[in-house]
Amino acid sequence: MSKINLIDKQKLITLQVGIISMLVQIWCGSFAVFYYSAQIFSDLSDNDITQKTIYTICLGLSGFIAQFSTIYMVNKIGSKYILMIGSLIIGSLNLAVSIISEHANQGTEFVIFILLLLLIMTFASTLGPVAWYCALDK
| pLDDT number for residue 89 | 93
Please give the C-alpha separations between residue 132 and each of 51, 111, 118, 125, in angstroms, as whole numbers. 34, 31, 21, 12
Residue 3 falls inside a structural domain? no
pLDDT higher than threshold 70 for residue 5: no
What CATH number did the domain enclosing 86 receive? 1.20.1250.20
Residue 122 falls inside a structural domain? yes
Residue 35 falls inside a structural domain? yes
pLDDT higher than threshold 80 for residue 111: yes
| pLDDT number for residue 102 | 86
pLDDT digits (tens, 9 = 90+) for 9-57: 777 777 777 788 778 777 777 777 777 777 777 777 777 788 888 888 8
Q: Where are the extended beta strands (E) located within the chain?
A: none
Residue 5 falls inside a structural domain? no
Number of domains in the chain: 1
| pLDDT number for residue 4 | 58
Please give the C-alpha separations between residue 78 and each of 9, 29, 32, 86, in angstroms, as whole numbers. 22, 23, 27, 12
Average pLDDT along the chain:
80
Mean pLDDT, residues 61-66 = 88
Rounded distance, CA 74 to CA 54, Å? 31
Residue 4 falls inside a structural domain? no
Residue 37 falls inside a structural domain? yes
pLDDT higher than threshold 60 for residue 1: no
Residue 131 falls inside a structural domain? yes
State the DSSP H helix or E strand holding residue 65, giving kind and residue range, or none if neither.
Answer: helix 49-66
Rounded distance, CA 12 to CA 43, Å? 45
User: What is the residue range of 105's domain?
Assistant: 10-137
pLDDT higher than threshold 60 for residue 75: yes
Residue 1 falls inside a structural domain? no
